[in-house]
Amino acid sequence: MNSGTFVILELLGGVALLLWGVRMVRTGVMRGWGDRLQRFVEERLSNRLTAFGGGVLATAVLGSATAMALIVAGLAGAGAISAQTGLAVLLGADNGSALVSGLFASGSSLAGVLAPLFLLTGYIAFSVSGEFRPRNAGRILMGLGLMLMALKVIVSAPAPLREATLFHDVLQAVATEPVLGFLVGAMLAWLFHSTLAVILLVASLLMNGSLEVAGAVPLILGINFGGGLPAVSATLDQPPSARKLPVANLFCRGLLAVSLLPFARQIVDIAGRLPTDPLHVAVGLHVTFNLVVAAVFLPLSSFVVNLVERLVPPAPVVGDPLTSPRYLDSMSLETPAIALSNATTETIRMSELLERMFRMALTSLQAGRLENLKELLPVDARLGNYMASVHAYLGQLTQDGLPAGETSRAHEIMLFASNLEHAGDVIKLSLADRIRAKIKQNIQFTVSQRAAIEALSEVIVASLRLLPAALSSRDVAAASRLAAQKDRFRELEDEIVRRHLGGEHVETAAGARDNALFIDLVRDLHRINSDIAAAGYPLVQAAGLLSSSRILNVGAVAGAR
């Protein structure tokens, strides 16, 4: 193998190692702190400036603007955020990614020291700890170590190319043709799905003298344009409300990049007057470009969104009644009884969303398809939006003071809306992880295990069907039947756990692993059913039918009525 081929393979291997490290960091962050990261972003959506800042910080932690774009697109698709606010988050994400790129490109001297330290510390944390979050912290440290190690490879690999005449001829052609350099940079950013990887590649060529700043400027402009393409292509199968944000972000980046391309020579002249080396000039240009995009388009986000809405026509209305809350009428706040009824209606609609999520998870479990789990995210975002809307609505209702009975009812509705949202979190964060592990590890449940999951799932579906009557009619009998579902589930669960913990298939290591996953699935189903059945408890307790540990004989309900 000749030296040129080896250099190319080493360079591509370094890029692959970098992308894998980014993926490990992203996986560790999302598994260990994904809910907190999303909540952090959502808490900063009050205005465009705070949304921008939230995007910067979240992406600096996550390490991928594309991943943040997909999260924000999911929230927009669920109606949880406005397009203007979502665009502000994406502009912040681009700046967070640029800052990470600049940090890595400028910190090559520290990579040799920190890479083995992060790898060793991460491996120890991942191997020794049995806790979920410490293990993911170890995964993040190992990912950072791999990224720093990749930085060393990418920086050192092109060194032999200093003497390669053909390679310099190619770079010279790119340097003298700004449009060609722009297209090459955009193509590389799209192929690698990472501006970080391509910026480091350009930085390595600048450091070893293979590339001049004049040739790097069109490349960097193209990289910034191409960095918006992965999010656009990844959301092509999503609703228009989710697709238009990545398109709007690409429009902002692309418009500025194309506008600056004719002035590449002037930019090089300005950069030549700066008292710094070519590497920091290129890194500074990348960071400055994203800052200028934010400064120009953040105030114009409404205009950009309106323009993009013409390019991305809305999907045909399919009549999904659960897109967003419909009955939280502010005029009804003047009549507390009507307002409480409206909030109850929306809480019942939350249960319909929860049932949709639950059936999606069951479909994925039965069919063994990971793709179905991706559909949980936008539905869970809707569920969170419903809960926040119900809480805000009832908060307005109670702030002026209500009779004790109506205040108690408002608090019951708010509590149960939180319970339903928590059940959705259990499905998205815990149950989905168990299903994902089963599919990835090719675990096959026994016939009795599949039958047990089906029986427990039927109890949950029955609880969801009992909920509307118990919540809306205030009927003690209906509430008692719903609350009794918790006891029914517990009895069935105890029988299943006893049967499977003593099974012969547990004697093997593989059988113990499969059985442990099965028991974890059962526990997740228990948590979901408990959150649903809790809706019946306040009314049953008020009727004196709830003892300290369990429901009294349901037959006494007739007398209570």
Vertex 351 angle, CA 347 and 357, to 5°: 140
Structure token pair of residue 445: 């449940």
Q: How many residues make up the chain in this entry?
A: 561
**Count of CA atoms in the C-beta half-sphere (13 A) of 394:** 27
CB burial of residue 439 (10 Å; 0-12, 13-18, 19+):
middle
- How far is it, in rounded angstroms, from Cα 151 to Cα 18? 7
Structure token pair of residue 221: 């402009």
pLDDT score recorded for residue 360 = 92
pLDDT score recorded for residue 167 = 58
| Distance of alpha carbon 23 from the chain centroid | 13
pLDDT score recorded for residue 315 = 56
pLDDT score recorded for residue 558 = 46
Structure token pair of residue 442: 């090719």
pLDDT score recorded for residue 512 = 73
Report mean pLDDT in 10-residue bins for the chain, 561 residues: 66 80 80 72 75 85 76 71 85 88 68 80 86 83 84 68 57 73 87 78 74 82 89 79 86 92 85 74 86 92 87 62 82 85 90 92 86 83 91 85 81 89 92 88 85 92 87 77 87 84 52 81 92 81 60 50 48
Assigned superfamily of 330-560: Phosphate transport system protein phou homolog 2; domain 2 (1.20.58.220)
Q: What is the 3-state secondary structure (H, E, C) of 133-180?
A: HHHHHHHHHHHHHHHHHHHHHHHHCCHHHHHCHHHHHHHHHHHHCHHH
CB burial of residue 327 (10 Å; 0-12, 13-18, 19+):
middle
Structure token pair of residue 239: 């609703």
Contacts 24+ apart (CB under 8 A), 254-257: 254/225, 254/228, 256/289, 256/292, 256/293, 256/296, 257/182, 257/221, 257/222, 257/224, 257/225, 257/289
Structure token pair of residue 129: 């700890």
CB 479 within 8 A of CB 355: no
User: Domain limits of the chain?
Assistant: 3-311, 330-560
Q: How far is CA 444 from CA 64, 192, 345, 364, in A?
A: 35, 35, 41, 14
- How far is it, in rounded angstroms, from Cα 391 to Cα 413? 9
Q: Which residue has the tokens 């990579």?
A: 111
